[in-house]
Structure 1
C-alpha cells in the first residue's frame, strides 16, 4: 500500500486574484483519518475542496496515486475519491434509495439502468450506515442525523477507498455528531478507508483523527498526531486562545479547555 496516495506540491489557491493558500506541501496518510482544523476563515475547506479537485489551484499540483489530479478525468477521480460537502441539499421529493443510487454514476456508462450488482452495493451502503429502513422515505423528511448518514451511504456506494468530508457534524446535536464520527471511525477501522475531514471541534479531532493538520491563514502550522501537536502554544497560535490541556482519564486522549483570549500587546 502506498503510504501517501495524496500529496500536494507547492499548491497555491486564490480567489479573485487574492492568494488564500500559498506553497502548500502536505501528505495524507493512506488508511488513516486526517482532520483539518483551524479558526474560521483559515482556509480549511478551500484546501479540502482543492485537494478533492473541486477547485482548481492557481499553481502547483495535487498528486493522486502519483499523477496530477487535474490531468485525471472526473470519472477516474470519482472512482478513487468521494467528496461530501458541508450541509448538502437533495432535490425535493427524492427518496433515500434514489439518493444513494447516485453514488453508482461513476461506474456506469451513459444512462444505463441500475443493475443487480448496483442494487447490492446500494443495499450494502445503506446497511453499513443503518439507513436501510429509510430507503423509501423522502430525504427532505429526515432528521439532520439521518440525512447525514444517508449522504455518507451515497459516498460509500461510490466504492472509493478515499472519503473527503467538509465539516460532517455541522448543525447536528451532540449525540448525532458522535453517531456520525463513530461511523467514520468504523469505516476506517473495518474497511481501511482513508478519511480526510474538516473538523470544527478540536476535541473531536483529537479523539477521532490519527493525523491533524492545523491551519492558520492558509498555511499548515502544525502537522502530526494529536499527541505531537496538542499544546498550549498551538492553541494560541492557531485559535488565538489560552487553554489547558487535559488527559482523558479513560483513554489518555488529550483534550483542550479554553478559558480566555490572550491579552493583546502593542
Structure 2
C-alpha cells in the first residue's frame, strides 16, 4: 500500500522531505496540512491520511479525550518546541505575556498545539484555565490577520516559522513558552495503516533523520537544505539546528513522555484527570512501536 502521510511544511520536516525525494511516491505520498496538528487529527479521523507527524501534546490529549482515530507509533523530534507568543504589529496594551490575561487568544483549530500551549502558558502564569477564551483562525495567515485587526490579542506558534513575519514587521513577539515535553510524535490509524508498512516507513525515516541530524550535516548540508527549501535566514537555521534533537530510531516511544505530558495537560486543565491506571494499549500501537520505559 502507498501510505498517505500528513505533515506540516516546516523546517522540522526536512528529513521527511529528503526521504520523499528518494522514495518518489513508491511507498508513500505526502499530504500537507497547513493548519497544523488539529487538521492532521481531523484528517486521520476522516480517512484522508494514514499517518500523521504531529505535535506531542495535541496527539496525547486527543487520545486522552477518547479519540480512536489513531495510536502512537513513533517519535520524530525529541527536543522541546519553542513557541513564540505573538501579537499585532501596531503598538498596543499587549507587550508581555501577563497583559494577555482575560483576552481572546487566536488558535488554528480546537485541539491544536496553539490551543494546548495556551493552557500551559496559563498554568505558568497562574491564570484560571477555565476562563481562557479562544477564536479559531485556521492557519498562520488567519492568525496574523486576527491579531492585527484586533479580534484576538495574541496567538502562539513555533518561533522560527513565524520569525520571518516578525522580521517583516507583520507582527510582534512578546514572549516565548517552550514545551515541557519532546515536541513531535508520529501517529497512525490503528487499522488502515498495516503494521509492516508503518514499520518500513519508520525505518526509512529513521535513516534520513540520522543523516540530517549528523554532526557533519549540521555543519553545512542541513543548513543549506533548510535555507534553500524554506527561505529562512542562515543565522536562524544555525540557531535552530544547534538546539533541535531527533531520535536515532523513529519507531521508539518513551512511556515517560506520555505520562509526563498527560500530567501537565491535566494540571493545565486541557484534559480531564485519568480515571484509574493509564493503559498503554490505549495510546500505543503495540504491533508497531518499540516502547522505551524511561
TM-score (structure 1 length as normaliser):
0.28
Which structure shows the higher helix fraction?
A: 2
TM-score (structure 2 length as normaliser):
0.27
